[in-house]
Structure 1
Amino acid sequence: MTGQRYTSFHPGKEWLDTSGKPIQAHGGSVMEVDGTYYWYGENKEFTTPGSGIWHWGVRCYSSTDLYNWTDEGVIIPPDEDDPTSPLSPQRGMDRPHILYNPHTEKFVCWIKVMSGSIQLSTTLVADSILGPYEIARRDFRPLGMYAGDFDLVVDPHDGKGYYIFERVHTELIVADLTDDYTDVTGYYSTHFHHGRPPFTREAPSHFHRAGREYLVTSGTTGYYPNVSEVASAATIHGPWEVVGDPHPDDDSRTSYRTQVSSVFKVPGKDLYIALGDRWLPDYDAHGSEAYDLFDEYFAQIEAGAPDTGMRELTVPDTSRARYVWLPIRFLDDGQVRIEWHDEWRLEDWV
């Protein structure tokens, strides 16, 4: 079967690869290597309600135009034999991020693995973006902290690496990476101290532009969509200043029913694309519903109720999740906008 040939983006619609199958790269990112784009993320093809399968490894696709994607296979396969492995399909592996290290000439992948409020990190290395990857450090706590959603950053000037992560249910941490990018040095800064979900900022998505650092984050409401927030800073360690909601025209207060997973700058253009997941394609409630649900849930925990884990608040069929890629617009007053387009083309942006 041959997939449809795309000449534009259709946010929220089913996106097929060149063989005609739905793309499985959730919580994903795009990077360019030697003129080819690679889109990788969580393979959720078997993650259906009741399956007991959280993921089926990290899948990767290649493209030369950002519209049409060829399946390159599962570049970090699940470990079906060891239930304690961070790559076991039953463990909550989420949000892989890959960096190229110019010093070691290695590709370095970080993953988080969830078990309720316990969230551990694992790093892997490879000679090629497509692998094979070998575990460098397994099930560790960066800085002695439980690390949740995160992003990885390389300074384009000196190649220094940074790890930006949600200290689970409390704040965001910006930590310096070791020279090999597989661990943190111990130097870090703390930001966005909001106490607990749903107010804690998660899903940090970083990008540089015009001498400024930017972060797009979401509130903490599991798979329910909520209001995004943009912050900017002169340096990656801050201080960070909140710019505001990049989706002010979205009356549903759900970031167009999307959570941004990463931001990709298109080479040769002043074009930044917010790569988002629509985890619940059939969900259309107002964003206040999720905030109220999670506020009540975590208020009960503060009062002494047991924490059964945010995962139990929703049991979605993430194998059906869609993608929402939208261009970012920058206003003269410093505001950042991610506006809705039913269809859009790279060619429409200078």
Structure 2
Amino acid sequence: MRGCGLLMIGCIVAGLGLSAEAQEPRRAFTPGQVWAATDGEHINAHGGGIIYRDGTYYWYGENRAARTPGGPRVASPGVQCYSSTDLFNWKNEGVVMKVIEDNPNHDITRGCNIERPKVVFNQKTKKYVMWFHLELRGQGYSAARSGLATADSPTGPFTFVRSLRPNAGIWSIEFPESSRTPVTAAEAKELLQGQNFRPGLAAGVYARRDFAGGQMARDMTLYVDDDGKGYLVASAEENYTLNIHELTDDYLDFTGKWTRVAPGGHNEAPAILKHNGKYHMLASGCTGWAPNPARVLQADSIWGPWKNVGNPCAGTNPQNNLGPEKTFGGQSTCIFQVAGKPGAYIAMFDEWRPRDLRNSGHIWLPVKFDGDRMVIDWTDKWDLSVFDK
């Protein structure tokens, strides 16, 4: 009871602080601290990403519904969007893709789990295309699907198109010919027994198991390369492997070309940037809601080979005394370029609070490079002038 009482008091104090803070425009990033939108409410867009169009940034993320302290988790209403012209002050644009309320059999009926929504603009079709990780209602995390929605405006409404597992019936480009034989779930379990577990993961036993129905797709991101080619990157094979799937020119489907990255590496939360011709994929380990060390995978081609070059983080978050060993208490979700500033990138992290997901924190930090090595230093307070140095 004492803990609940302190939590309620903290929420009241935080609420008062939000209202006061919202009256003054922000002029700097303060990672990990309460970040209010212009409506005075903490920004409720988690596991999200940023796009820039016509002078405005749009931040899409999971809307995590409010819950009574100690009560059950409340179903999400859908994907939330905020807009900003300066990256500091964000206007709440509302829920831009809503769950379905009147059809319990729909893929995105209320009670489904929509995570890590990402949006890109397609220059050819002039459509805004959203992909997201979807778990069907009542099925836990077993569905592991990719959901698709489109809109004519960055603030929606986004119309749900379909959900699926990527590239059913297609082998990855590097999968050995000698191993291209599907296996059942029971056969996969047998092949991964005991000391065969790690070698079996690397050899793609789970990919063989999922061949017919399509590959699992959990934590995900979207990446558009310099040539306009789009890719969906997702955690697959029970979160032990990352997959990169090439998208069609309209970004609405898969071309059938895909590859496995760091098989058996147990990575999730991918975010990609390209710097000086090299691809850098920021990711985390798999420890549920708890933070763990970040890592960067690097390659000269989107198709690999990818090499783990270590943890890019340095410094300590004074709010929780966590450093690189716990990624300052956060988990990667997106890296985006600042408009008009070539080479200026910001890394976004979620500071998950599983008992109060709506108020999970946002950690934004500048990305630097030491040669080809990505560096993300903790900074208590910063603004875009860091990129002018």
TM bucket (normalised to shorter chain) is: 0.7 to 0.9
Q: Which amino acid aligns with 1:216?
A: L
Partner Cα separation in structure 2 for residue 13 and residue 63 of structure 1: 19
1:347 counterpart SS class: helix
Is the 2:119–2:129 Cα contact (8 Å) retained in structure 1? yes
Partner Cα separation in structure 2 for residue 39 and residue 14 of structure 1: 17
Normalised to the residue count of structure 2, the TM-score between the two structures is 0.76
Q: For residue 52 of structure 1, report the CA deviation from its aligned partner.
A: 4.0
Q: Which amino acid aligns with 1:123?
A: L
Structure 1 or 2: larger helix share? Answer: 2
- Paired residues, number: 309
Aligned pairs (5 A) from 1:156-175: 156-157=226-227, 159-167=228-236, 168-175=238-245
1:331 corresponds to which of 358, 370, 386 = 370
2:95 corresponds to which of 62, 74, 77 = 74
In terms of mean alpha carbon deviation, does 143-152 or 9-18 score higher? 143-152
Q: For residue 177 of structure 1, report the CA deviation from its aligned partner.
A: 0.7
Is the 1:258–1:279 Cα contact (8 Å) retained in structure 2? yes
> Taking CA–CA contacts closer than 8 Å with sequence separation of 6 or more, which of the two structures ends up with the larger relative contact order?
1
1:147 counterpart SS class: coil
Partner Cα separation in structure 1 for residue 121 and residue 351 of structure 2: 28
Percent of residue pairs bearing the same amino acid type: 37
1:12-55 deviation per Cα after TM superposition (whole angstroms, max 9, x unaligned): 00000112111111011111000111111011132566434242
2:132 corresponds to which of 88, 111, 128 = 111
Partner Cα separation in structure 2 for residue 108 and residue 252 of structure 1: 34
Normalised to the residue count of structure 1, the TM-score between the two structures is 0.84
Aligned-residue RMSD, C-alpha: 1.7
Q: For residue 252 of structure 1, report the CA deviation from its aligned partner.
A: 6.3
Aligned pairs (5 A) from 1:263-342: 263-269=335-341, 270-280=343-353, 315-332=354-371, 334-342=372-380
Larger Rg belongs to: 2
Matched, 1:147 2:217: yes
In terms of mean alpha carbon deviation, does 169-178 or 254-263 score higher? 169-178
Partner Cα separation in structure 2 for residue 249 and residue 133 of structure 1: 40
Partner Cα separation in structure 1 for residue 92 and residue 126 of structure 2: 24
What is aligned with 1:134? 159
Partner Cα separation in structure 2 for residue 84 and residue 122 of structure 1: 15
Instruction: Give structure 2 stretches of 5+ with no counterpart.
Output: 1-18, 168-213, 317-322
2:347 counterpart SS class: strand
Q: Which amino acid aligns with 1:148?
A: R
Instruction: Give structure 1 stretches of 5+ with no counterpart.
Output: 281-314
Matched, 1:348 2:386: yes
Structure 1 or 2: larger strand share? Answer: 1
Aligned pairs (5 A) from 1:1-350: 2-46=22-66, 50-114=71-135, 115-138=140-163, 140-143=164-167, 144-157=214-227, 159-167=228-236, 168-194=238-264, 200-250=266-316, 251=323, 253-269=325-341, 270-280=343-353, 315-332=354-371, 334-350=372-388
What is aligned with 1:301? none
Partner Cα separation in structure 1 for residue 249 and residue 337 of structure 2: 24
1:141-195 deviation per Cα after TM superposition (whole angstroms, max 9, x unaligned): 11211211111111222x211111111322111111122212211111111112x
Q: For residue 206 of structure 1, report the CA deviation from its aligned partner.
A: 0.8
